[in-house]
Amino acid sequence: MTKKNLALEIIERLKKEYPDAGCTLDYDHAWKLLVSVRLAAQCTDARVNVVVEDLYKRYPDVDALAAADAEDIEEIVRPCGLGRSKARDISACMKILKEEYDGKVPEDFDALLKLPGVGRKSANLIMGDVFGKPAIVTDTHCIRLVNRMGLVDGIKEPKKVEMALWKIIPPEEGSDFCHRLVYHGRDVCTARTKPLCNKCCLADICRKEGV
């Protein structure tokens, strides 16, 4: 089976397995996803979802967060780890949204990439989830799973994985596919324990590289 055909089959099976898979960060405004995605670096989405509740109680909109001292933001976001740099990025990012984008999140991949603390993974997440555009989010689950499945061959660098997946994943499927990889990576194709291949809906087509 070619990588493209393997990808299409995996996409279909994961759709059946996780029909409602979506972003595991809670947000009701685009700027909040921007904040959460920065906080999620080296932190669980579950913890981020709790911490942002306190943050938004005190700073309910872009203007309030842009006006906040980075030290005060740091106090609240510290449980997510890397508090100082995350607070600094969030503060700078909200100031740019306020001053350059009228408080809105830009609908442009390159503009997103220029925001403090926003890398390709985050920019793709925003493009896919907020704007419904083609997106490939290469987080730790994605990179581990696509290597094991044989969709890429021994590529670990996120941008290279992203570029390899663009060649074989239909653009409109990318965002949901990556969300489903997160679910599958947590429940079945796990990182810290041996993956549960005997319970996996992909067992007969997965190449199980390195497993």
> Is there a contact between 83 and 91 (Cβ–Cβ < 8 Å)?
no
Residues that bind ligand SF4 (CB under 6 A): 148-149, 188-189, 195-197, 200, 202-203, 206, 208, 211
Residue 100 or 187 with smaller CB distance to ligand SF4: 187
Residue 86 designated active-site: no
> Of the listed 121, 153, 199, 204, which one is catalytic?
121
Helix (H, G, I), strand (E, B) or coil at 193: coil
Cα distances from 122 to residues 40, 80, 173, 180, 195, in angstroms, run 10, 17, 17, 17, 27
The least distance separating ligand SF4 from the CB of residue 42, rounded to whole angstroms, comes to 23
From 139, 160, 176, 208, the catalytic residue: 139
Residues contacting 84, CB < 8 A, separation 6+: 70, 74
Residue with tokens 């913890």: 47
CB of 10 to ligand SF4, least distance (A): 8
Q: Identify whether 121 is a catalytic site residue.
A: yes
Output 52 or 165, the one with its CB closest to ligand SF4: 165
Minimum Å gap between C-beta 1 and ligand SF4 is 14
Q: Using CA atoms, how far apart are residues 183 and 206, in angstroms rounded to an integer?
A: 17
Residues noted as catalytic? 121, 139
